[in-house]
């Protein structure tokens, strides 16, 4: 999975660089290359990376709910219930 993400990222960056380098010669092909490179980074490589990184993690730990707000503030549930 790591190699696929790296391959997509490198191909997208190369496509963007190639698009900017041929912009003076063929404007439509240059815009297509830049567009495909951008789509490759943001719609293919980034979701694959996020799936790879978040595998095995609990989403509940990252949600902002009342329990996690109290943990961030350093307050226990018992101290807020007594008041």
pTM: 0.70
Q: Per-residue DSSP letters for 4-52?
A: HHHHHHHHHHHHHHHHHHTTTT-HHHHHHHHHHHHHIIIIIIHHHHHHH
Which pLDDT band, with edges at 50, 70 and 90, does 78 fall under? low
Handedness of CA 73, 79, 80, 83 (dihedral sign): negative
Question: Tens digit of pLDDT for each residue in 1-51?
Answer: 899 999 999 999 999 999 999 999 999 999 999 999 999 999 999 999 999
Question: Contact at 8 Å (CB) between 10 and 17?
Answer: no
């Amino acid at each position: 999975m790591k190699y696929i993400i790296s391959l997509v990222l490198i191909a997208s960056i190369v496509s963007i660089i190639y698009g900017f380098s041929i912009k003076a010669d063929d404007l439509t092909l240059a815009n297509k290359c830049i567009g495909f490179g951008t789509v490759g980074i943001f719609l293919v490589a980034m979701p694959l990376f996020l799936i790879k990184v978040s595998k095995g993690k609990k989403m509940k730990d990252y949600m902002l709910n009342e329990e996690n707000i109290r943990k961030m503030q350093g307050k226990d549930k018992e101290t807020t219930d007594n008041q």
